[in-house]
Amino acid sequence: MTTRQVHDSVPGWEHALRSSVNQLAGRTSHYGTDATIAATLAAVPVASDLATSVTLGVALEVAWAAHVASTDVHLEADAVNVTTEATPTNLATLEAFIIELKTVFNAHVVSTTYHRVTPDLQITSADPSTDQDAANTLSNELQRKLVKHFLSGMQTLPTPAIAGSV
Name the pTM for this structure: 0.75
Pairwise pLDDT comparison (13 vs 126), residue with the higher score: 126
Q: Which of 9-13, 69-73, 121-125, 130-134 has the lowest mean pLDDT?
A: 9-13
DSSP letter, residue 36? H
Q: How confident is the model at residue 9 (pLDDT cuts 50, 70, 90)?
A: low
Sequence-distant (≥ 6) Cβ neighbours of residue 28 within 8 angstroms: 36, 72
pLDDT for 17-76, tens place per residue?
665 555 544 433 334 568 888 989 999 999 999 999 999 999 999 999 999 998 888 889
Q: Which pLDDT does position 155 carry in this prediction? A: 45
Question: Above 90 in pLDDT, residue 152?
Answer: no
Do 94 and 53 contact (CB within 8 A), yes or no? yes
What residue spans define the domains of the chain?
3-155
What gap in Å lies between CA 102 and CA 151, rounded to an integer? 18
Average pLDDT over residues 112-116: 86
pLDDT for 78-113, tens place per residue?
999 999 999 999 999 999 999 999 999 999 999 989
Q: Which pLDDT does position 153 carry in this prediction? A: 63
Q: Which pLDDT does position 119 carry in this prediction? A: 75
Q: What is the CA radius of gyration of the chain?
A: 16
Using the CB atoms, write b or e for 25-46: b if 16+ within 10 Å.
eeebebeebbbbbbebbbbbee
Angle at 133 between CA 10 and CA 87, to 5 degrees: 45
